Amino acid sequence: MQQDHENDLPAYKRIQNVILKRMESGGLRAGDAIDSERQLAKVHQVSLMTARHALAGLEREGVVVRRRGAGTFVAPPKIHFNKLMSFTEQMAVRNLPARSKILSCTVTEEESEVAARLALPPGSRLIRLERLREGAGEPFALETCYLSEAEFPRLRHAPLERGSLFSILESEYGLELAQSDEEIDATNADARTAQLLAIGKGQPLLRIRQVIYSAKGRATVYVRGFYRSDRHNLLIRRFR
Amino acid sequence: MQQDHENDLPAYKRIQNVILKRMESGGLRAGDAIDSERQLAKVHQVSLMTARHALAGLEREGVVVRRRGAGTFVAPPKIHFNKLMSFTEQMAVRNLPARSKILSCTVTEEESEVAARLALPPGSRLIRLERLREGAGEPFALETCYLSEAEFPRLRHAPLERGSLFSILESEYGLELAQSDEEIDATNADARTAQLLAIGKGQPLLRIRQVIYSAKGRATVYVRGFYRSDRHNLLIRRFR
DNA sequence: AAGTGGTCTAGACCACGGC
DNA sequence: CCGTGGTCTAGACCACTTC
Protein backbone atom coordinates (compact mmCIF):
# COMPACT_ATOMS: atom_id res chain seq x y z
CA MET A 1 0.00 0.00 0.00
CA GLN A 2 1.35 3.37 -0.88
CA GLN A 3 0.67 6.83 -2.20
CA ASP A 4 -2.86 8.16 -2.49
CA HIS A 5 -6.10 6.34 -2.07
CA GLU A 6 -9.25 8.43 -2.18
CA ASN A 7 -7.98 11.09 -4.57
CA ASP A 8 -4.83 11.91 -6.51
CA LEU A 9 -3.22 14.05 -3.83
CA PRO A 10 -0.07 12.90 -2.06
CA ALA A 11 -0.67 11.83 1.52
CA TYR A 12 1.30 14.70 3.03
CA LYS A 13 -0.85 17.22 1.16
CA ARG A 14 -4.03 15.54 2.30
CA ILE A 15 -2.84 15.87 5.88
CA GLN A 16 -1.99 19.53 5.31
CA ASN A 17 -5.43 20.15 3.84
CA VAL A 18 -7.14 18.55 6.81
CA ILE A 19 -5.21 20.83 9.16
CA LEU A 20 -5.77 23.93 7.01
CA LYS A 21 -9.48 23.22 6.79
CA ARG A 22 -9.70 22.86 10.53
CA MET A 23 -7.99 26.23 10.88
CA GLU A 24 -10.29 27.93 8.40
CA SER A 25 -13.40 26.55 10.03
CA GLY A 26 -12.25 27.98 13.34
CA GLY A 27 -11.68 24.62 14.96
CA LEU A 28 -8.05 25.64 15.46
CA ARG A 29 -7.05 29.09 16.60
CA ALA A 30 -3.69 30.84 16.90
CA GLY A 31 -1.57 29.16 19.55
CA ASP A 32 -3.56 25.96 19.62
CA ALA A 33 -1.59 22.73 19.53
CA ILE A 34 -1.67 20.64 16.37
CA ASP A 35 -1.69 16.85 16.55
CA SER A 36 1.85 15.61 17.07
CA GLU A 37 3.74 13.83 14.32
CA ARG A 38 3.01 10.48 15.90
CA GLN A 39 -0.68 11.21 16.32
CA LEU A 40 -0.97 12.37 12.73
CA ALA A 41 0.88 9.31 11.51
CA LYS A 42 -1.49 7.03 13.40
CA VAL A 43 -4.67 8.88 12.47
CA HIS A 44 -3.84 9.15 8.77
CA GLN A 45 -2.26 5.73 8.56
CA VAL A 46 1.07 7.01 7.25
CA SER A 47 4.64 6.72 8.41
CA LEU A 48 6.25 9.21 10.72
CA MET A 49 8.34 10.76 7.94
CA THR A 50 5.24 11.50 5.93
CA ALA A 51 3.51 13.19 8.85
CA ARG A 52 6.71 15.15 9.44
CA HIS A 53 6.80 16.19 5.80
CA ALA A 54 3.28 17.56 6.10
CA LEU A 55 4.10 19.63 9.18
CA ALA A 56 7.42 20.82 7.76
CA GLY A 57 5.61 22.14 4.71
CA LEU A 58 3.11 24.03 6.82
CA GLU A 59 5.94 25.48 8.89
CA ARG A 60 7.75 26.70 5.77
CA GLU A 61 4.57 28.49 4.70
CA GLY A 62 4.39 30.10 8.13
CA VAL A 63 0.99 28.76 9.13
CA VAL A 64 2.45 26.65 11.90
CA VAL A 65 5.25 26.95 14.45
CA ARG A 66 7.19 23.94 15.69
CA ARG A 67 8.97 23.82 19.04
CA ARG A 68 11.19 20.89 19.87
CA GLY A 69 10.06 19.12 22.95
CA ALA A 70 6.85 21.09 23.10
CA GLY A 71 4.82 20.49 19.96
CA THR A 72 3.43 22.10 16.83
CA PHE A 73 1.18 25.11 17.16
CA VAL A 74 -0.95 27.33 14.96
CA ALA A 75 1.15 30.38 14.08
CA PRO A 76 -0.06 33.82 15.19
CA PRO A 77 -2.19 35.55 12.56
CA LYS A 78 0.27 36.60 9.93
CA ILE A 79 0.26 40.16 8.77
CA HIS A 80 0.50 39.97 5.02
CA PHE A 81 3.89 41.46 4.35
CA ASN A 82 5.23 41.46 0.83
CA LYS A 83 2.13 39.68 -0.35
CA LEU A 84 1.05 40.12 -3.94
CA MET A 85 -2.63 40.97 -3.64
CA SER A 86 -5.17 42.44 -5.98
CA PHE A 87 -6.78 45.73 -5.06
CA THR A 88 -9.95 43.84 -4.22
CA GLU A 89 -8.05 41.58 -1.84
CA GLN A 90 -6.24 44.50 -0.21
CA MET A 91 -9.54 46.19 0.49
CA ALA A 92 -11.03 42.99 1.80
CA VAL A 93 -8.25 42.74 4.39
CA ARG A 94 -9.14 46.23 5.59
CA ASN A 95 -12.85 45.42 5.54
CA LEU A 96 -13.51 48.20 3.07
CA PRO A 97 -15.89 47.90 0.16
CA ALA A 98 -13.92 48.04 -3.10
CA ARG A 99 -15.06 49.42 -6.42
CA SER A 100 -13.42 50.07 -9.74
CA LYS A 101 -14.42 52.47 -12.45
CA ILE A 102 -13.12 51.56 -15.88
CA LEU A 103 -11.86 54.71 -17.52
CA SER A 104 -10.74 53.08 -20.73
CA CYS A 105 -10.01 49.69 -22.21
CA THR A 106 -8.21 49.83 -25.52
CA VAL A 107 -5.57 48.10 -27.56
CA THR A 108 -2.27 49.86 -28.15
CA GLU A 109 0.67 48.95 -30.31
CA GLU A 110 2.86 51.85 -29.36
CA GLU A 111 3.97 51.16 -25.83
CA SER A 112 7.26 49.56 -26.70
CA GLU A 113 8.75 50.09 -23.27
CA VAL A 114 5.88 48.24 -21.63
CA ALA A 115 6.10 45.51 -24.25
CA ALA A 116 9.76 45.13 -23.45
CA ARG A 117 8.99 44.68 -19.77
CA LEU A 118 6.59 41.89 -20.72
CA ALA A 119 9.31 40.33 -22.87
CA LEU A 120 7.29 41.00 -26.03
CA PRO A 121 8.60 42.43 -29.29
CA PRO A 122 8.17 46.19 -29.73
CA GLY A 123 4.91 47.08 -31.42
CA SER A 124 3.04 44.14 -29.88
CA ARG A 125 -0.68 44.58 -29.45
CA LEU A 126 -1.34 45.24 -25.78
CA ILE A 127 -4.59 45.51 -23.90
CA ARG A 128 -4.47 48.76 -21.95
CA LEU A 129 -6.92 48.93 -19.08
CA GLU A 130 -7.19 52.11 -17.07
CA ARG A 131 -9.14 51.96 -13.86
CA LEU A 132 -9.99 54.28 -11.01
CA ARG A 133 -9.91 52.37 -7.76
CA GLU A 134 -12.26 53.36 -4.97
CA GLY A 135 -12.36 52.18 -1.40
CA ALA A 136 -15.11 53.17 0.97
CA GLY A 137 -16.49 55.52 -1.68
CA GLU A 138 -13.26 57.53 -1.85
CA PRO A 139 -10.96 57.51 -4.86
CA PHE A 140 -7.86 55.65 -3.90
CA ALA A 141 -5.66 55.02 -6.87
CA LEU A 142 -5.36 55.30 -10.62
CA GLU A 143 -4.11 52.10 -12.19
CA THR A 144 -3.21 51.30 -15.76
CA CYS A 145 -2.44 47.72 -16.59
CA TYR A 146 -1.15 46.11 -19.74
CA LEU A 147 -1.44 42.54 -21.01
CA SER A 148 -0.64 40.82 -24.26
CA GLU A 149 -3.77 40.77 -26.44
CA ALA A 150 -2.55 37.59 -28.14
CA GLU A 151 -2.41 35.84 -24.81
CA PHE A 152 -5.75 37.06 -23.47
CA PRO A 153 -7.94 37.58 -26.56
CA ARG A 154 -11.34 37.54 -24.87
CA LEU A 155 -10.32 39.61 -21.90
CA ARG A 156 -11.49 42.92 -23.37
CA HIS A 157 -15.06 41.67 -23.35
CA ALA A 158 -14.94 40.09 -19.89
CA PRO A 159 -17.01 41.54 -17.04
CA LEU A 160 -14.13 43.59 -15.68
CA GLU A 161 -16.39 45.88 -13.71
CA ARG A 162 -17.50 43.08 -11.52
CA GLY A 163 -14.77 40.60 -10.53
CA SER A 164 -11.13 41.49 -10.01
CA LEU A 165 -8.73 41.14 -12.89
CA PHE A 166 -6.70 38.67 -10.84
CA SER A 167 -9.61 36.32 -10.36
CA ILE A 168 -10.57 36.49 -14.03
CA LEU A 169 -7.03 35.66 -15.06
CA GLU A 170 -6.91 32.82 -12.60
CA SER A 171 -10.29 31.30 -13.33
CA GLU A 172 -10.79 32.03 -17.04
CA TYR A 173 -7.24 31.53 -18.22
CA GLY A 174 -5.93 29.16 -15.58
CA LEU A 175 -3.15 31.62 -14.97
CA GLU A 176 -1.26 31.12 -11.75
CA LEU A 177 0.27 34.33 -10.46
CA ALA A 178 3.44 33.89 -8.46
CA GLN A 179 5.26 37.13 -7.81
CA SER A 180 5.77 40.73 -8.82
CA ASP A 181 8.74 43.04 -9.01
CA GLU A 182 7.87 46.60 -8.14
CA GLU A 183 9.55 49.93 -8.58
CA ILE A 184 8.34 52.57 -6.17
CA ASP A 185 8.87 56.29 -6.11
CA ALA A 186 7.03 59.51 -5.40
CA THR A 187 5.58 62.08 -7.78
CA ASN A 188 3.25 65.03 -7.73
CA ALA A 189 -0.21 64.73 -9.18
CA ASP A 190 -0.69 66.24 -12.61
CA ALA A 191 -3.95 68.01 -13.41
CA ARG A 192 -5.86 65.02 -14.77
CA THR A 193 -4.73 62.61 -12.06
CA ALA A 194 -5.49 65.15 -9.37
CA GLN A 195 -8.99 65.62 -10.69
CA LEU A 196 -9.66 61.89 -10.93
CA LEU A 197 -8.34 61.25 -7.44
CA ALA A 198 -10.14 64.29 -6.02
CA ILE A 199 -7.03 65.90 -4.62
CA GLY A 200 -5.21 69.13 -5.31
CA LYS A 201 -2.80 69.41 -8.19
CA GLY A 202 0.77 68.86 -6.98
CA GLN A 203 -0.23 66.67 -4.07
CA PRO A 204 2.21 63.81 -3.43
CA LEU A 205 1.47 60.39 -4.90
CA LEU A 206 3.09 57.01 -4.55
CA ARG A 207 3.92 55.65 -7.97
CA ILE A 208 4.23 51.88 -8.23
CA ARG A 209 5.24 50.16 -11.42
CA GLN A 210 4.99 46.43 -11.21
CA VAL A 211 5.70 43.48 -13.44
CA ILE A 212 3.66 40.47 -12.40
CA TYR A 213 5.06 37.04 -13.15
CA SER A 214 3.24 33.76 -13.56
CA ALA A 215 4.22 30.63 -11.71
CA LYS A 216 6.12 29.61 -14.82
CA GLY A 217 8.27 32.71 -14.54
CA ARG A 218 6.66 34.56 -17.45
CA ALA A 219 6.16 38.35 -17.23
CA THR A 220 2.42 38.54 -17.76
CA VAL A 221 0.97 41.81 -16.52
CA TYR A 222 2.44 45.28 -16.24
CA VAL A 223 0.74 47.75 -13.92
CA ARG A 224 1.47 51.41 -13.34
CA GLY A 225 -0.39 52.87 -10.42
CA PHE A 226 -0.65 56.21 -8.67
CA TYR A 227 -1.78 56.02 -5.09
CA ARG A 228 -3.05 58.82 -2.87
CA SER A 229 -0.43 58.95 -0.18
CA ASP A 230 -2.98 60.20 2.34
CA ARG A 231 -5.04 57.06 1.87
CA HIS A 232 -2.46 54.44 1.11
CA ASN A 233 0.48 53.11 3.03
CA LEU A 234 2.90 50.58 1.70
CA LEU A 235 4.02 47.98 4.22
CA ILE A 236 7.23 46.17 3.47
CA ARG A 237 9.34 43.68 5.33
CA ARG A 238 13.01 43.30 4.53
CA PHE A 239 15.44 40.64 5.66
CA ARG A 240 19.12 40.80 6.40
CA MET B 1 26.10 4.11 13.04
CA GLN B 2 24.24 7.34 13.02
CA GLN B 3 24.39 11.10 13.31
CA ASP B 4 27.65 13.00 13.10
CA HIS B 5 31.16 11.70 13.12
CA GLU B 6 33.89 14.25 12.62
CA ASN B 7 32.10 17.23 14.19
CA ASP B 8 28.82 17.99 15.91
CA LEU B 9 26.94 19.00 12.78
CA PRO B 10 24.05 16.89 11.50
CA ALA B 11 24.91 14.94 8.37
CA TYR B 12 22.54 16.91 6.15
CA LYS B 13 24.21 20.17 7.15
CA ARG B 14 27.65 18.76 6.48
CA ILE B 15 26.50 17.84 2.99
CA GLN B 16 25.08 21.33 2.50
CA ASN B 17 28.33 22.89 3.64
CA VAL B 18 30.34 20.81 1.23
CA ILE B 19 28.14 21.98 -1.64
CA LEU B 20 28.13 25.60 -0.49
CA LYS B 21 31.90 25.61 -0.15
CA ARG B 22 32.27 24.22 -3.65
CA MET B 23 30.04 27.03 -4.92
CA GLU B 24 31.97 29.73 -3.10
CA SER B 25 35.28 28.48 -4.33
CA GLY B 26 34.02 28.66 -7.88
CA GLY B 27 34.05 24.93 -8.42
CA LEU B 28 30.33 25.12 -9.12
CA ARG B 29 28.79 27.89 -11.20
CA ALA B 30 25.21 28.91 -11.89
CA GLY B 31 23.44 26.24 -13.90
CA ASP B 32 25.94 23.50 -13.08
CA ALA B 33 24.51 20.18 -12.02
CA ILE B 34 24.86 19.11 -8.40
CA ASP B 35 25.47 15.49 -7.48
CA SER B 36 22.19 13.60 -7.53
CA GLU B 37 20.55 12.42 -4.34
CA ARG B 38 21.81 8.91 -4.90
CA GLN B 39 25.35 10.06 -5.59
CA LEU B 40 25.38 12.25 -2.50
CA ALA B 41 24.02 9.41 -0.40
CA LYS B 42 26.74 7.10 -1.61
CA VAL B 43 29.58 9.63 -1.31
CA HIS B 44 28.62 10.81 2.16
CA GLN B 45 27.59 7.39 3.39
CA VAL B 46 24.08 8.45 4.33
CA SER B 47 20.63 7.27 3.40
CA LEU B 48 18.71 8.70 0.50
CA MET B 49 16.33 10.63 2.75
CA THR B 50 19.21 12.41 4.41
CA ALA B 51 20.74 13.43 1.08
CA ARG B 52 17.28 14.60 0.01
CA HIS B 53 16.94 16.63 3.20
CA ALA B 54 20.20 18.39 2.43
CA LEU B 55 19.14 19.32 -1.09
CA ALA B 56 15.63 20.31 -0.01
CA GLY B 57 17.14 22.76 2.49
CA LEU B 58 19.34 24.33 -0.15
CA GLU B 59 16.37 24.63 -2.47
CA ARG B 60 14.32 26.38 0.20
CA GLU B 61 17.12 28.91 0.61
CA GLY B 62 17.14 29.46 -3.13
CA VAL B 63 20.74 28.45 -3.78
CA VAL B 64 19.70 25.41 -5.78
CA VAL B 65 16.96 24.49 -8.23
CA ARG B 66 15.58 20.99 -8.52
CA ARG B 67 13.91 19.62 -11.63
CA ARG B 68 12.22 16.25 -11.55
CA GLY B 69 13.69 13.88 -14.06
CA ALA B 70 16.56 16.22 -14.79
CA GLY B 71 18.56 16.87 -11.64
CA THR B 72 19.58 19.54 -9.16
CA PHE B 73 21.34 22.66 -10.39
CA VAL B 74 23.01 25.73 -8.97
CA ALA B 75 20.42 28.53 -8.97
CA PRO B 76 21.09 31.65 -11.03
CA PRO B 77 22.68 34.46 -9.02
CA LYS B 78 19.87 35.91 -6.97
CA ILE B 79 19.20 39.60 -7.15
CA HIS B 80 18.87 40.87 -3.62
CA PHE B 81 15.26 41.88 -3.35
CA ASN B 82 13.77 42.89 -0.03
CA LYS B 83 17.22 42.91 1.52
CA LEU B 84 17.78 45.02 4.61
CA MET B 85 20.89 47.01 3.74
CA SER B 86 22.55 50.05 5.21
CA PHE B 87 22.89 53.15 3.08
CA THR B 88 26.56 52.39 2.71
CA GLU B 89 25.77 48.91 1.44
CA GLN B 90 23.15 50.19 -0.97
CA MET B 91 25.61 52.61 -2.46
CA ALA B 92 28.25 49.92 -2.71
CA VAL B 93 25.90 47.77 -4.80
CA ARG B 94 25.52 50.69 -7.21
CA ASN B 95 29.24 51.37 -7.17
CA LEU B 96 28.69 54.87 -5.89
CA PRO B 97 30.83 56.55 -3.27
CA ALA B 98 28.76 57.09 -0.12
CA ARG B 99 29.09 59.87 2.41
CA SER B 100 27.12 61.00 5.41
CA LYS B 101 26.99 64.40 7.04
CA ILE B 102 25.92 64.34 10.66
CA LEU B 103 23.49 67.18 11.19
CA SER B 104 22.85 66.48 14.84
CA CYS B 105 23.33 63.81 17.44
CA THR B 106 21.40 64.42 20.62
CA VAL B 107 19.46 62.68 23.35
CA THR B 108 15.74 63.22 23.55
CA GLU B 109 13.20 62.12 26.11
CA GLU B 110 10.17 63.47 24.37
CA GLU B 111 9.60 61.23 21.41
CA SER B 112 7.08 58.95 23.02
CA GLU B 113 5.73 57.67 19.73
CA VAL B 114 9.16 56.54 18.63
CA ALA B 115 9.81 55.03 22.06
CA ALA B 116 6.60 53.07 21.71
CA ARG B 117 7.72 51.68 18.37
CA LEU B 118 10.89 50.48 20.06
CA ALA B 119 8.81 48.91 22.82
CA LEU B 120 10.24 51.34 25.38
CA PRO B 121 8.30 53.24 28.03
CA PRO B 122 7.30 56.78 27.09
CA GLY B 123 9.89 59.35 28.12
CA SER B 124 12.79 56.95 27.55
CA ARG B 125 16.13 58.53 26.72
CA LEU B 126 16.71 58.05 23.01
CA ILE B 127 19.74 58.82 20.92
CA ARG B 128 18.56 60.87 17.97
CA LEU B 129 20.93 60.91 15.03
CA GLU B 130 20.14 63.05 12.03
CA ARG B 131 22.21 62.50 8.93
CA LEU B 132 22.31 63.80 5.40
CA ARG B 133 23.14 60.99 3.03
CA GLU B 134 25.11 61.72 -0.10
CA GLY B 135 25.83 59.48 -3.03
CA ALA B 136 28.19 60.52 -5.80
CA GLY B 137 28.44 63.98 -4.25
CA GLU B 138 24.69 64.61 -4.54
CA PRO B 139 22.38 64.80 -1.54
CA PHE B 140 20.27 61.71 -1.54
CA ALA B 141 18.28 61.40 1.61
CA LEU B 142 17.66 62.86 5.04
CA GLU B 143 17.60 60.20 7.71
CA THR B 144 16.83 60.42 11.39
CA CYS B 145 17.39 57.36 13.48
CA TYR B 146 16.59 56.61 17.08
CA LEU B 147 18.10 54.09 19.49
CA SER B 148 17.78 53.45 23.19
CA GLU B 149 20.57 55.31 25.01
CA ALA B 150 20.51 52.74 27.79
CA GLU B 151 21.22 49.99 25.32
CA PHE B 152 23.96 51.80 23.40
CA PRO B 153 25.60 54.11 25.91
CA ARG B 154 28.87 54.76 24.09
CA LEU B 155 27.36 55.12 20.66
CA ARG B 156 27.12 58.91 20.78
CA HIS B 157 30.90 59.12 20.93
CA ALA B 158 31.59 56.51 18.25
CA PRO B 159 33.14 57.51 14.92
CA LEU B 160 29.80 57.75 13.16
CA GLU B 161 31.18 59.87 10.34
CA ARG B 162 33.35 57.08 9.16
CA GLY B 163 31.80 53.60 9.34
CA SER B 164 28.15 52.85 8.83
CA LEU B 165 25.88 52.69 11.84
CA PHE B 166 25.04 49.09 10.94
CA SER B 167 28.63 47.94 11.10
CA ILE B 168 29.24 49.74 14.39
CA LEU B 169 26.19 48.10 15.92
CA GLU B 170 27.26 44.73 14.63
CA SER B 171 30.93 44.91 15.59
CA GLU B 172 30.88 47.03 18.76
CA TYR B 173 27.70 45.74 20.31
CA GLY B 174 27.50 42.26 18.79
CA LEU B 175 24.05 43.16 17.57
CA GLU B 176 22.68 40.88 14.91
CA LEU B 177 20.17 42.64 12.69
CA ALA B 178 17.52 40.39 11.23
CA GLN B 179 14.71 42.28 9.59
CA SER B 180 12.86 45.56 9.29
CA ASP B 181 9.25 46.53 8.86
CA GLU B 182 8.80 49.61 6.74
CA GLU B 183 5.98 52.01 6.12
CA ILE B 184 6.27 53.88 2.87
CA ASP B 185 4.41 56.85 1.54
CA ALA B 186 4.95 60.05 -0.38
CA THR B 187 5.18 63.63 0.84
CA ASN B 188 6.23 67.02 -0.42
CA ALA B 189 9.45 68.55 0.79
CA ASP B 190 9.13 71.23 3.42
CA ALA B 191 11.44 74.24 3.32
CA ARG B 192 14.23 72.86 5.48
CA THR B 193 14.26 69.41 3.88
CA ALA B 194 14.19 70.94 0.42
CA GLN B 195 17.18 73.10 1.22
CA LEU B 196 19.17 70.22 2.69
CA LEU B 197 18.40 67.97 -0.23
CA ALA B 198 19.03 70.75 -2.76
CA ILE B 199 15.64 70.47 -4.40
CA GLY B 200 12.70 72.81 -4.75
CA LYS B 201 10.18 73.18 -1.97
CA GLY B 202 7.16 70.96 -2.63
CA GLN B 203 9.10 68.42 -4.66
CA PRO B 204 7.95 64.83 -4.07
CA LEU B 205 9.82 62.71 -1.56
CA LEU B 206 9.59 59.07 -0.59
CA ARG B 207 9.11 58.79 3.13
CA ILE B 208 10.21 55.55 4.72
CA ARG B 209 9.70 54.79 8.37
CA GLN B 210 11.33 51.60 9.46
CA VAL B 211 11.60 49.59 12.63
CA ILE B 212 14.67 47.39 12.58
CA TYR B 213 14.57 44.18 14.59
CA SER B 214 17.42 42.16 16.01
CA ALA B 215 17.75 38.44 15.45
CA LYS B 216 16.13 37.97 18.85
CA GLY B 217 13.04 39.77 17.66
CA ARG B 218 13.70 42.97 19.60
CA ALA B 219 12.82 46.34 18.01
CA THR B 220 16.18 48.08 18.16
CA VAL B 221 16.41 50.98 15.74
CA TYR B 222 13.79 53.33 14.37
CA VAL B 223 14.60 55.25 11.21
CA ARG B 224 12.61 57.94 9.45
CA GLY B 225 13.97 58.86 6.07
CA PHE B 226 13.09 61.23 3.26
CA TYR B 227 14.44 60.21 -0.12
CA ARG B 228 14.72 62.31 -3.23
CA SER B 229 12.41 60.50 -5.61
CA ASP B 230 14.47 61.63 -8.57
CA ARG B 231 17.52 59.88 -7.19
CA HIS B 232 16.09 56.92 -5.35
CA ASN B 233 13.98 54.00 -6.48
CA LEU B 234 12.62 51.39 -4.17
CA LEU B 235 12.72 47.86 -5.53
CA ILE B 236 10.38 45.36 -3.97
CA ARG B 237 9.42 41.81 -4.69
CA ARG B 238 6.08 40.43 -3.56
CA PHE B 239 4.88 36.88 -3.52
CA ARG B 240 1.45 35.38 -4.00
C1' DA C 1 9.17 10.22 33.03
C1' DA C 2 6.48 10.99 29.21
C1' DG C 3 5.91 13.23 25.08
C1' DT C 4 7.68 16.25 21.49
C1' DG C 5 10.24 17.49 17.41
C1' DG C 6 15.07 16.55 14.94
C1' DT C 7 17.82 13.36 12.71
C1' DC C 8 18.50 9.08 10.34
C1' DT C 9 18.24 4.26 8.01
C1' DA C 10 17.70 1.08 4.00
C1' DG C 11 15.12 0.20 1.33
C1' DA C 12 10.54 0.88 -2.16
C1' DC C 13 7.55 2.49 -6.28
C1' DC C 14 6.15 6.40 -9.09
C1' DA C 15 6.33 10.27 -12.61
C1' DC C 16 9.06 12.69 -15.38
C1' DG C 17 13.22 14.27 -18.50
C1' DG C 18 16.49 13.54 -21.84
C1' DC C 19 18.66 10.60 -24.95
C1' DC D 1 15.70 3.32 -21.78
C1' DC D 2 18.02 4.96 -17.64
C1' DG D 3 18.70 8.39 -14.26
C1' DT D 4 16.40 12.02 -11.87
C1' DG D 5 13.61 13.95 -8.20
C1' DG D 6 8.92 13.00 -5.49
C1' DT D 7 6.62 10.23 -2.34
C1' DC D 8 6.56 6.74 1.19
C1' DT D 9 7.51 2.90 4.81
C1' DA D 10 8.41 1.17 9.60
C1' DG D 11 11.02 1.52 12.35
C1' DA D 12 15.39 3.87 15.41
C1' DC D 13 17.98 7.06 18.78
C1' DC D 14 18.73 11.79 20.34
C1' DA D 15 17.78 16.43 22.48
C1' DC D 16 14.58 18.95 24.35
C1' DT D 17 10.31 20.66 27.08
C1' DT D 18 6.95 20.00 30.34
C1' DC D 19 5.28 18.10 34.35
Domains of chain B, each with CATH number or no CATH: 2-74 (1.10.10.10), 79-233 (3.40.1410.10)
Please answer yes or no on whether B188 and A202 come within 8 Å at the CB atom: yes
> Is A216 an 8 Å CB contact of chain B?
no
- Each residue's pLDDT tens digit, B86-128: 988 888 888 888 889 999 999 999 999 999 999 999 999 999 9
Helix H segments across chain B?
Answer: 11-24, 37-44, 48-60, 87-93, 112-117, 165-172, 191-197
> Is A190 an 8 Å CB contact of chain B?
no
When pLDDT is cut at 50, 70 and 90, the band that residue B3 belongs to is very low
- pLDDT of amino acid B93: 86
| B207: pLDDT strictly greater than 90 | yes
Judge contact between A115 and A82, C-beta under 8 A.
no
Asked if the Cβ of residue B195 lies within 7 A of any atom of strand D, the reply is no
- pLDDT of amino acid B2: 39
Please answer yes or no on whether A84 and B202 come within 8 Å at the CB atom: no
Considering only CA atoms, which of B195, B191, B224, B192 is closest in space to residue B208?
Answer: B224
From chain A, the residues in CB contact with B84 under 8 A are 238-240
Please answer yes or no on whether B182 and A238 come within 8 Å at the CB atom: yes
Contacts for A73 with CB less than 8 Å, ≥ 6 apart: A31, A32, A33, A34, A64, A65, A66, A67
- pLDDT of amino acid A1: 41
Between these two residues, B198 and B81, which has the higher pLDDT value? Answer: B198
Scan residues 26-45 of chain B and list those with Cβ within 7 Å of strand D: 34, 36-39
Judge contact between A175 and A166, C-beta under 8 A.
no
From chain B, the residues in CB contact with A206 under 8 A are 184-186
When pLDDT is cut at 50, 70 and 90, the band that residue B158 belongs to is confident
- List the single residue in B177, B186, B236 with the smallest CB-CB distance to A240: B177
d(CA B207, CA A205): 11
Segments of chain A assigned E as strands: 33-34, 64-67, 71-74, 98-108, 126-135, 138-148, 177-188, 204-214, 219-228, 234-239
- Each residue's pLDDT tens digit, A38-47: 999 999 999 9
| C-alpha distance from residue A83 to each of A133, A200, A236 (Å) | 19, 31, 9
Find the length of chain A. 240
Single-letter amino acid, residue A88: T
When pLDDT is cut at 50, 70 and 90, the band that residue B7 belongs to is low
Please answer yes or no on whether A183 and B235 come within 8 Å at the CB atom: yes
Q: How many CA atoms lie within 13 A of A24 on its CB side?
A: 6
Asked if the Cβ of residue B69 lies within 7 A of any atom of strand D, the reply is yes
**Can you tell me whether residue B58 is helix, strand or coil?**
helix
Mean pLDDT for all residues in chain B: 91
- pLDDT of amino acid B8: 79
d(CA B210, CA B112): 16
**Can you tell me whether residue B230 is helix, strand or coil?**
coil
Find the Å distance, CA of residue A3 to C1' of nucleotide C13. 9
**Can you tell me whether residue B33 is helix, strand or coil?**
strand
- Each residue's pLDDT tens digit, B25-45: 989 999 999 999 999 999 999
Which nucleotides of chain D have an atom under 7 angstroms from any protein CB? 3-18
| B171: pLDDT strictly greater than 60 | yes
pTM: 0.85
> Is A229 an 8 Å CB contact of chain B?
yes
| Percent of chain B residues past pLDDT 90, beyond the cut | 74
Between these two residues, B96 and B144, which has the higher pLDDT value? Answer: B144
- pLDDT of amino acid A4: 40
> Is B68 an 8 Å CB contact of chain A?
no
> Mean pLDDT, to the nearest integer, of B55-68?
95
Q: What residue of A is the nearest CA neighbor of B57? A: A60
Which residue ranges in chain A fall short of pLDDT 50?
Answer: 1-6
Query: Partners of B129 in the beta sheet?
Result: B105, B145
